[in-house]
């Protein structure tokens, strides 16, 4: 009963904030327009000209969904989740006789539903551009697509709690800046370490961090070669559990409103 009440309040806040409408509009526009542009491209190799097919189109869709998921995790984690745990609103939250573990469960479930809707928009846009027969074709790799989406969902959940913790502690604007810097640094590091700089002490430390810099390479490897990166997936799970635990500890007490920091 308590879990259902929290889920209902979370859903009500999402609808009231227009996040669902914004997500659907932004995701459909990005996927549909992006895939149309990709479909019109031609590739010339040794004089042979070919167009982008459904397999390449789905690969592009996966990366577009990754971008939308990052956007969704940032909006939901930085601005929406802290709403109930700051200022005068937090007083009611902390006097409710509910376990603090219910809050990360509710937020994780809400994000999961939003991500599933985004994936549905991705598949719908793909079928509009390449036709339903592309999805229903026997050679369509549902297993490769599913493993890629599993990696993305796990990364989004970790980002949700990480953004929420930073937002509650440092404020929204500081979190946006820190998140952008961390993303850039990890992406650059992930690229640099693939050029033979994997024997340094920095690489050893990098291997213990969330594998955000490896995510794009993991998606490409999983989709193209069917090799699931179990090591990085396990690291995502560990960091997800740690971030959820830290979030649960941070919301034990009401916090001051820090929207302008």
pLDDT (tens digit per residue) in 43-82: 655 555 456 678 888 999 999 999 999 999 999 999 989 8
> What is the chain's mean pLDDT, rounded?
85
Q: Which two tokens stand for residue 218?
A: 């993991």
pTM, two decimals, is: 0.90
Q: Where does residue 141 fall: left (phi above 0), alpha (psi -120 to 50 degrees), or beta otherwise?
A: beta
Q: What is the pLDDT, as a whole number, of residue 261?
A: 43
Residue 130's domain comprises 2-250
Sign of CA dihedral 155, 158, 162, 165: positive
Please report whether residue 255 resides in a domain: no
Q: How far is CA 11 from CA 5, 15, 50, 85, 110, in A?
A: 10, 6, 46, 16, 7
Please report whether residue 258 resides in a domain: no
Q: Which two tokens stand for residue 140?
A: 């369509």
Ranges of the chain with pLDDT below 70:
1, 42-52, 88-92, 94, 196-199, 254-261
Please report whether residue 259 resides in a domain: no
Q: What is the pLDDT, as a whole number, of residue 147?
A: 92
Q: What is the pLDDT, as a whole number, of residue 198?
A: 66
Please report whether residue 260 resides in a domain: no
Q: What is the pLDDT, as a whole number, of residue 210?
A: 94
45 beta partners:
48
Q: Which two tokens stand for residue 43?
A: 């590739």
How far apart CA 243 and CA 240 sit, in angstroms, is 5
Total number of domains constituting the chain = 1
Q: What is the pLDDT, as a whole number, of residue 253?
A: 72
How far apart CA 11 and CA 20 sit, in angstroms, is 10
Q: What is the pLDDT, as a whole number, of residue 214?
A: 92
Please report whether residue 158 resides in a domain: yes
């Amino acid at each position: 009963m308590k879990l259902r009440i929290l889920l209902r309040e979370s859903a009500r806040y999402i609808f009231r904030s227009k996040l669902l409408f914004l997500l659907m509009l932004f995701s459909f526009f990005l996927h549909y327009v992006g895939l149309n542009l990709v479909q019109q491209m031609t590739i010339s190799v040794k004089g042979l000209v070919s167009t982008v097919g459904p397999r390449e189109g789905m690969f592009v869709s996966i990366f577009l969904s990754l971008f939308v998921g990052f956007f969704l995790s940032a909006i939901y984690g930085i601005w929406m989740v802290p709403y109930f745990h700051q200022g005068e609103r937090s007083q009611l939250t902390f006097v409710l006789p509910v376990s603090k573990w219910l809050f990360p469960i509710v937020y994780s479930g809400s994000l999961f539903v939003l991500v599933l809707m985004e994936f549905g928009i991705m598949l719908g846009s793909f079928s509009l551009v390449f036709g339903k027969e592309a999805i229903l074709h026997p050679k369509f790799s549902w297993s490769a697509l599913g493993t890629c989406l599993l990696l993305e969902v796990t990364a989004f959940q970790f980002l949700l709690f990480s953004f929420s913790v930073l937002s509650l502690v440092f404020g929204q604007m500081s979190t946006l800046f820190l998140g952008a810097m961390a993303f850039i640094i990890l992406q650059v590091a992930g690229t640099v370490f693939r050029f033979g700089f994997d024997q340094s002490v920095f690489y050893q430390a990098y291997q213990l961090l969330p594998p955000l810099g490896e995510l794009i390479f993991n998606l490409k490897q999983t989709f193209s070669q069917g090799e699931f990166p179990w090591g990085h997936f396990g690291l995502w799970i560990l960091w997800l559990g740690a971030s959820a635990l830290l979030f649960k500890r941070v919301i034990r007490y009401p916090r001051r409103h820090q929207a302008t920091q």
